[in-house]
Amino acid sequence: MSNFWENYPSYKEDLDKVQDIMHDTLISKESYLNETLGAMINKRGKMIRPGLLLISSEFGKNQKYKKEEILQLAAIIEMFHMATLVHDDIIDESETRRGEYTLQYKYGKKYAVYIGDYIFTKCFSMLSGSYDMDTMKNISNVISRICTGELMQFHSRYDLNASYKKYLKVISGKTAALISLACYIGAYESGADEKTSKILGKIGYYLGVAFQIKDDILDITEDDKGLKKTSQIDILNGYYTLPVIFALQKDEAGVLKDLLKKEEKTKEDVDLIFNFIKEHKGIEKSEAIATRHTNKVLSLINKLDNIEHKDILKKLVENLLYRKN
C-alpha cells in the first residue's frame, strides 16, 4: 500500500487488515500461484475503493454493522478491481503497471486470464456466505457494467468521431461503477438509511468520473516530464480519451485525424498529436468537465450528516481530484 493513508492511521490499520484478508483468501497450496498473487496483493497502490467503502460504512453503524463483514466486503471490492486490471492488461497488451511487469507480459495471456478468473471466483465464493441477495445483485450488476464498458471501449477503437457522451458511458462502466458501488454498499451493509446510501453512491459515481478524466489528463501532461507513457499506448491502440476527443472536434483541417490514421506512428507523430491536443484546448476543456463533476461530489458531501468522517471523505476527495500526479 502507498503512503496515501498515512494521515488517517485508523483507516490505514483497517486497510492493512483488508490486505490480510485478500492474502488469506487468495493464497493456496500452490507455491507458483502464491508467488504471483502475493506480489499483486503487496503492491495495491492507493486502495481507493476499499478505503471509500470503509469511510462510507461510518454513516451507518447501527445494530446491523459488523466490522468483520465490512472489512471482508472491502477486500472483495479490491479483489474485483484487481481481477479487472489483470484482464485489462491482457486486452491492452500492457507490459507494465505501476512500474512493474504485468502478468500477461511475464507469464503470457493464458496464465493471466486464469489468474483473473481465479480471483473472480474467490470473490463470489466470499459473497455467497455472508451477504444478502440485494448486495449480491448490486455487485453482479456492476461487474456486468464494467464488462459492458470494456466492450464499448473496444468496439469504439479508432473512432475519429468519438463523442463526450460515448466516452462518459465507457468510463461510467469501467471506473465509476465500482467506486459508486463501494460507497453505496459500504453504507448499506452498515445499516445506513437508503437516502444516505444513495447519496454516497452518487458521490462515488461522480468521483469515479472525475478521477478517470483527471487520470486521462495527467497521462498527457505528465508525459512531458517522461513520467508516463499510458497515453501513447492508448493512442496507438486506438483508445481516444477526452482530451483527444475535444481536440478532434476542433480539427477542421483534418491534421489530427491524419496523424491518428497512420498505421505506424513515430515518436515525432505522437509528439505532434500531444501538441495539437494542448494547442486546441483539449486539456482545458477536459479540466472543466472534471471540475464540474468534482463540484457535484463536494455538493453531495455537504448533504451528509455532520460526523467526523464527512470531513475525512471531503479531504480524501480533494486529495484525489486536485492531485498533480
263-301 residues labelled b (16+ CB within 10 A) or e (exposed): eebeeebbeebbebbbebbbbebbbebbeebbebbbebb
Burial bucket for residue 220 (CB in 10 Å: 0-12, 13-18, 19+): buried
Per-domain boundaries in the chain: 3-321
Q: What is the pLDDT of residues 33-74, one digit of tens each?
A: 888 888 888 877 889 999 999 999 999 877 677 899 999 999
Specify the 3-state DSSP secondary structure of 2.
Answer: coil
Interatomic CA distance for residues 179 and 195, integer angstroms: 18
The half-sphere exposure of 125 on its side-chain side, counting CA atoms within 13 A, is 10
**What pLDDT tens digit does each residue of the chain (325 aa) get?**
557 788 889 999 999 999 999 999 998 878 888 888 888 888 778 899 999 999 999 998 776 778 999 999 999 999 999 999 998 888 888 888 777 888 899 889 999 999 999 999 999 888 887 777 888 888 889 989 999 998 999 899 999 999 999 999 999 999 999 999 999 999 999 999 999 999 999 999 999 999 999 999 988 887 555 445 567 778 888 899 999 999 999 999 999 999 999 988 888 998 899 999 999 999 999 999 999 999 999 999 999 988 889 999 999 999 888 877 6
Q: For residue 5, give the DSSP letter.
A: G
Which residues fall within 8 angstroms of residue 321, CB to CB, at 6 or more apart? 207, 210, 211, 214, 290, 294, 297
Q: What is the pLDDT of residues 236-261, one digit of tens each?
A: 888 999 999 999 999 999 999 999 99
pTM of the prediction?
A: 0.92
CATH topology of domain 3-321: Farnesyl Diphosphate Synthase (1.10.600)
For cell 445494530, name the residue: 63
Q: Are 36 and 21 in contact (CB under 8 A)?
A: no
H-run or E-run covering 300: helix 282-301
Distances from the Cα of 23 to the Cα of 16, 29, 48, 51, angstroms:
11, 13, 18, 17
Which residues fall within 8 angstroms of residue 66, CB to CB, at 6 or more apart? none
Interatomic CA distance for residues 204 and 178, integer angstroms: 8
Interatomic CA distance for residues 280 and 322, integer angstroms: 23
Interatomic CA distance for residues 264 and 236, integer angstroms: 9
